[in-house]
Amino acid sequence: MIEVDTYPSAGTIEGSASGDATPALSEVSVIEILTTLAMRKGFIAKVSGSALLAGVAISLLLPVRYTATTRIMTPQPTPSANLILANQLNKSGLDSLSSLGGAAGLGLKNPNDIYIALLSSRSIADDILQHFGLVSEYHSKNMTSARKALAANTRIVSESSGLIAISVTDSDRNRAAEISNAYTQGLRTLTKTLAVTEASQRRIYYEDQLKHAKDELVKAEFALQQVQRKKGVVLPEAQAKAVIEGLASLQAQVAAKEVELQALRSYSTERNPNVQIVESELDSLRAQARLKEQTGPSGSSSVLGLQDVAGGGLEFLDAEHELQYRQILFDMLLKQYDAARLDESRDAAVMQVVEPAIPPDLKSSPRRAAIVLLLTALAFLSACLYALTEAFVAANPAIARALGRFRAVLLNGNKKEKSLLSAQ
């Protein structure tokens, strides 16, 4: 059997009246526990002292690290110049554009979450890793592991004051401050290409709408030119009046020539040269009148036919109305776009560094005193627990025998267990 040392003193934990039975926990007094610990005070002191020395050695061997912090203020929602413009548009009767401009200034969330996500993005991390050569500094095999190391050494939080704090921990105090400030520069560079703020989103939207409106305006101008070339319409009212007056003049000339021809025929024959001349002139005037009643001369942009007065004028008015509508819409979108650009430039100026990072004077880790105290306390408690367990097992032979069998089986297998059973 495996022998277990016992301590035949008053502090030994007594068994119950039944012999091998385990004593009840209520029968173990505080004095007995303290007595048992006092008997093993040398062992406990050695373990605690060893842990104390180990803690001191570990705390001295750990590398010193410094933490630098930068605090920035993000753009806050401000009254948009687009809202003022929306009121002006509403007075002009363009309700759809007015509602669009008014809705653009509402519902903007707290921007800190957006900027924290941008600061934690891969693009900013890669720029910092490459600029400071942190891949080799972190002994990383690839960029993925280097990004994880940088993220572990970086803490980005939104403070209750509304500022964003960027804290970077590094073995070099100067590099810690430089990396922390590099996050701010990376954020500024990234936001130049992204629509982060409400004004930036409106600016991009109106920029797309402005391009579409410009294309439609060019199409409307071309359509009006085509109507003018095809129908010869430039000023519908003036041209219609001129056509009617010209046709009336031709009809009056035809009537006068007819009277003149009848007068010549009354006293001469058809062979009379004067009659033939008047007939020729009359035919020419009648042809001009018929042409005037039907359509203007081909290729003419100043003469309009009578039949073209209604149709050509209507097409011209439709094309001119479309052109005016596209021009007004383009002008309104241009004003909205300019207002969004103004708001965007104002938001960009608001984002600023409140507290740039500086090289810290004090280290952030390791906390040597805390490490030494923690290891010593754990060693002391472990030694006390071991001493109490050893005394408890010594006072209970049955438990000692069971532990002996367990050790034998764990170390030597089933053969040793069979030999122990046969010896018993």
Q: Quick one: pLDDT band at residue 264, thresholds 50, 70, 90?
A: low
Six-digit token pair at 229? Answer: 């070339």
User: Do the Cβ atoms of 11 and 32 come closer than 8 Å?
Assistant: yes
Mean pLDDT of 106-130: 82
Say what the pLDDT of residue 358 is: 92
Q: Quick one: pLDDT band at residue 301, thresholds 50, 70, 90?
A: very low
Within 8 A by CB and 6+ apart from 411, the residues are: none
User: What is the spatial distance between Cα 2 and Cα 409, in angstroms, rounded to a whole number?
Assistant: 13
Buried b (16+ CB within 10 A) or exposed e, 89-108: beeeebeebbebbbebbeeb
| 182 has a pLDDT exceeding 90 | yes
Range of lowest pLDDT (206-215, 307-316, 337-346, 401-410): 307-316
Within 8 A by CB and 6+ apart from 249, the residues are: none
User: Which DSSP category does 18 fall into?
Assistant: T
User: What is the spatial distance between Cα 119 and Cα 187, in angstroms, rounded to a whole number?
Assistant: 6
Reported as half-sphere exposure (CB side, CA atoms, 13 A), residue 283 has a value of: 6
Say what the pLDDT of residue 145 is: 93
Range of lowest pLDDT (61-75, 87-101, 231-245, 390-404): 87-101
Say what the pLDDT of residue 2 is: 35
Q: Fill in the amino acid letter for 403.
A: L
| 144 has a pLDDT exceeding 90 | yes
Model pTM?
Answer: 0.48
Reported as half-sphere exposure (CB side, CA atoms, 13 A), residue 252 has a value of: 6
User: Do the Cβ atoms of 335 and 85 come closer than 8 Å?
Assistant: yes
**Nearest C-alpha neighbor of 64 from the set 365, 372, 359, 368:** 365
Mean pLDDT of 178-188: 92
**Nearest C-alpha neighbor of 176 from the set 194, 150, 157:** 150
Sort 166 into a burial class: Cβ within 10 Å, 0-12 / 13-18 / 19+: buried
Six-digit token pair at 269? Answer: 């024959």
Say what the pLDDT of residue 377 is: 93
Say what the pLDDT of residue 256 is: 73
User: What is the spatial distance between Cα 233 and Cα 253, in angstroms, rounded to a whole number?
Assistant: 26
For residues 127 and 421, the model is more confident at 127
User: What is the spatial distance between Cα 1 and Cα 344, in angstroms, rounded to a whole number?
Assistant: 86
| 300 has a pLDDT exceeding 50 | no
| Whole-Å CA distances, 88 to 7, 80, 94, 328, 338 | 98, 14, 9, 14, 14
Q: Quick one: pLDDT band at residue 282, thresholds 50, 70, 90?
A: confident
Say what the pLDDT of residue 3 is: 38
User: What is the spatial distance between Cα 331 and Cα 337, in angstroms, rounded to a whole number?
Assistant: 10
User: Which DSSP category does 282 fall into?
Assistant: H
Say what the pLDDT of residue 414 is: 56
Say what the pLDDT of residue 314 is: 64
User: What is the spatial distance between Cα 400 and Cα 410, in angstroms, rounded to a whole number?
Assistant: 15
Within 8 A by CB and 6+ apart from 81, the residues are: 339, 342, 343
Cα 206 from chain centroid? Answer: 19
The CA radius of gyration of the chain, in Å to the nearest whole number, is 51
Average pLDDT, the chain: 74
Opening angle at CA 329, ends 328 and 331, nearest 5:
65
User: Do the Cβ atoms of 12 and 396 come closer than 8 Å?
Assistant: no
Six-digit token pair at 208? Answer: 């797309």
Query: What is the DSSP code string of 358-403?
Result: ---SS--B--HHHHHHHHHHHHHHHHHHHHHHHHHHHT-HHHHHHH
Range of lowest pLDDT (111-120, 158-167, 171-180, 254-263): 254-263
User: What is the spatial distance between Cα 272 and Cα 266, in angstroms, rounded to a whole number?
Assistant: 12
- In this structure, the number of other CB atoms found within 10 A of the CB of residue 377 comes to 13
User: Do the Cβ atoms of 105 and 174 come closer than 8 Å?
Assistant: no
- In this structure, the number of other CB atoms found within 10 A of the CB of residue 411 comes to 8
Mean pLDDT of 294-305: 47
For residues 118 and 290, the model is more confident at 118
Q: Fill in the amino acid letter for 363.
A: K
| 299 has a pLDDT exceeding 60 | no
Say what the pLDDT of residue 23 is: 46
Six-digit token pair at 148? Answer: 């994880």
Helix (H, G, I), strand (E, B) or coil at 216: helix
Which residues share a beta bridge with 355?
A: 71
| 14 has a pLDDT exceeding 60 | no
User: What is the spatial distance between Cα 90 and Cα 147, in angstroms, rounded to a whole number?
Assistant: 51
